[in-house]
Chains A and B, each alone.
Chain A
Amino acid sequence: MPPVLEFESVSKTYRRGLFRPERIHALRDFSLTVERGEILGFLGPNGAGKTTAIHIALGFMRPTSGRGQMLGRPFGHAPTRARVGFLAESVAYYSRGASSLVQLYGGLQGVPASELPRRAHESLERVDLLADADRNVSKFSRGMLQRVGLAQALVNDPELLILDEPTSALDPLARVAVREMLIEARGRGKTVFLSSHLLSEIELLCDRVAVLHRGRLIRVARTAELLEAVGQTEIVVRGANAGDFPGAESHDGVLRMRVPAAEQRATIERVWGRGGEIVSVNPVKRGLEEVFVELTGGEEKA
């Protein structure tokens, strides 16, 4: 089975400026494969080329070199987009009622006219906007617009969801709802390509993470692998003397220390030898933020 989304050595260069044009390399030799049924987190600092990659996949731009395919068809193949749901970052919508807007986009996706009202109703229900279905979206807050954006992306029951910052304007409760929705979509065999600045969200949701930096893909790995222990163990101890364990943090009589995995056994025996009690022993995991900063050299956040 072909991958759902595949970039093969895609590069994109464009010129900026009229009199002294400057060549911008938005993407350089970018290759990435997104497999069916996974949620792939797409990370990178501002200007890394994430949106460019998404725009190329959807046919808004043509790559300077390289190629790719989406759902088995080359990038830019319009009928294939009927099987894709897309939410753009900071997109504006036509000024009309939310339900009418979702129906318009559903119609453009080829959803039969007889099914449109039901599909729009279901999509708006999923993003908790049913109560505002008849309100003009021009009166909506940014968070509500983002939810309408999600509703229009879901109206055709897509196989592939491409979401560019889907929750940046949402409140915590709505974020949880979107997260659950995406997990449920994955459960139904859908694929999600998720570009987000919210690293905690990527960490919670994504099966794999791809990190883009200055137009180059610098790391693709399973999320768990990326966050895995760095060869260190955290040991939490009660009833031991902090002075016996240099470097340990003490709080309310509980010591917390990080030791190399190879010294774990010896440390535990030392604790027992000094009358201490082991509360927990866990491999140290890094946060995605830490990994991200390490990979991108501590520049801007995603």
Chain B
Amino acid sequence: MRAVLLIAANLLREARWYVLLMVGWVVGLTLLLQIDKRPKPADVVFIVSQEAAYGIVLALMMGAAAIHADRKTRRILSVLSKAVERREYLAGLLLGAAYQALIFLAAVAICGTWSARRLGLPSGSLWTFLVLPFCGAMLGAAAGLMCASFLHPLFATAASGLLLLGQYELEHAIAPGSRTLPMETIVHSFFIFGFQPDWAVPWLPCAGALIEALIFWLVASLIFQRRDIAVAVD
């Protein structure tokens, strides 16, 4: 477990400028909204929902790129030559992507709360709303990581995006509104969130997303365990 935490913290450290940039973008967008002397609640809702969706996309991209970045620089050799199992390495990357999503979504929550309070909207519901995108981000990162365990990051990003959106489309086509797969509930929440004071965390889809992320991580571990991670330089 210690190795997982160290790898996760290291990934966050490596991506700190990128995370900072994304947080800056959230803050900047919020400030931009304040220029308008009479911002509409619909604008705040739109921005918050959009940023929450980006949180999932960012985590997916982070998951899809993490292995490749380490392989390209050969830093992976310095990690996997240590007493680290490959599944621990992947878990570390996944946790690192989760840290990044958490920081990004916390920025969304803080800035959203500020905007909501200025408009007199009940801001407490924003925090409960963001629990679901956070679970979605974990799912996105795990899907990205799984596809990147055997694909180039560019294809892995596309494949994992299709995998997640495919779930949404599939459920939408076969059993619309059934909310069986978590992606359906996550995407649906972006359309219906409106700072409702009684917004409750949909725990079942959250748990579903985390279980699905766990399955993706397990599959990624199985694939990655069988892969040669370095080709001879000599």
- B-binding residues in A (CB < 8 A): 14, 26, 44, 46-52, 55, 58-62, 78-82, 84, 86, 88-96, 104-105, 107-110, 152
Q: How far is the CA of A59 from the CA of B82 in the complex (A)?
A: 10
With a CB–CB cut-off of 8 A, which chain A residues contact B75? 91-94
Q: How far is the CA of A64 from the CA of B146 in the complex (A)?
A: 24
Indicate which residue in B2, B78, B232 contacts A105 across the interface (CB closer than 8 Å). B78
Indicate which residue in B14, B73, B84 contacts A108 across the interface (CB closer than 8 Å). B84
B42 at the interface (CB under 8 A from A): no
Which B residues, 196 to 234, have Cβ-Cβ distances below 8 Å to chain A? 226, 228-234
Q: How far is the CA of A59 from the CA of B226 in the complex (A)?
A: 10
For B6, the closest partner residue in chain A by CB is: A107
Q: How far is the CA of A47 from the CA of B6 in the complex (A)?
A: 35
Indicate which residue in B73, B83, B231, B234 contacts A110 across the interface (CB closer than 8 Å). B83
Pairs A–B under 8 Å by Cβ, sample size 25: A26-B232, A48-B234, A51-B233, A58-B80, A58-B81, A61-B229, A78-B84, A78-B85, A86-B77, A88-B77, A89-B233, A91-B75, A91-B77, A91-B78, A92-B73, A92-B74, A94-B10, A94-B75, A95-B14, A105-B78, A107-B3, A107-B6, A108-B79, A109-B82, A110-B2
Would you call B3 and A108 a contact (CB within 8 A)? yes
Residue among A49, A108, A110 having the largest count of chain B Cβ atoms under 10 Å: A108
With a CB–CB cut-off of 8 A, which chain B residues contact A46? 234
For B88, the closest partner residue in chain A by CB is: A78
With a CB–CB cut-off of 8 A, which chain B residues contact A95? 14
With a CB–CB cut-off of 8 A, which chain B residues contact A109? 82-83
B13 at the interface (CB under 8 A from A): yes
Interface code B1-40, partner A: CB below 8 Å = 1, 0 otherwise?
A: 0110011001001100000000000000000000000000
6 tightest CB-CB pairs across the interface, nearest first? Answer: A82-B83, A108-B82, A86-B81, A52-B232, A61-B228, A60-B230
For B228, the closest partner residue in chain A by CB is: A61
Which B residues, 35 to 88, have Cβ-Cβ distances below 8 Å to chain A? 73-75, 77-85, 88
Would you call A60 and B2 a contact (CB within 8 A)? no
With a CB–CB cut-off of 8 A, which chain A residues contact B85? 78
With a CB–CB cut-off of 8 A, which chain B residues contact A80? 83
Would you call B228 and A49 a contact (CB within 8 A)? no
For B83, the closest partner residue in chain A by CB is: A82
With a CB–CB cut-off of 8 A, which chain B residues contact A94? 10, 13-14, 75
Provided the pairs A78-B83, A105-B82, A108-B3 are in contact, do residues A52 and B74 lie with their beta carbons within 8 angstroms?
Answer: no
With a CB–CB cut-off of 8 A, which chain A residues contact B81? 58, 60, 81, 84, 86, 88
With a CB–CB cut-off of 8 A, which chain A residues contact B79? 108
Q: How far is the CA of A243 from the CA of B4 in the complex (A)?
A: 77
Would you call B234 and A108 a contact (CB within 8 A)? no
A282 CB to closest chain B CB (Å) equals 37
Residue among B75, B82, B228, B231 having the largest count of chain A Cβ atoms under 10 Å: B82
B3 CB to closest chain A CB (Å) equals 5
Provided the pairs A60-B229, A81-B81 are in contact, do residues A90 and B234 lie with their beta carbons within 8 angstroms?
Answer: no
Provided the pairs A46-B234, A51-B234 are in contact, do residues A93 and B78 lie with their beta carbons within 8 angstroms?
Answer: yes
B227 CB to closest chain A CB (Å) equals 9
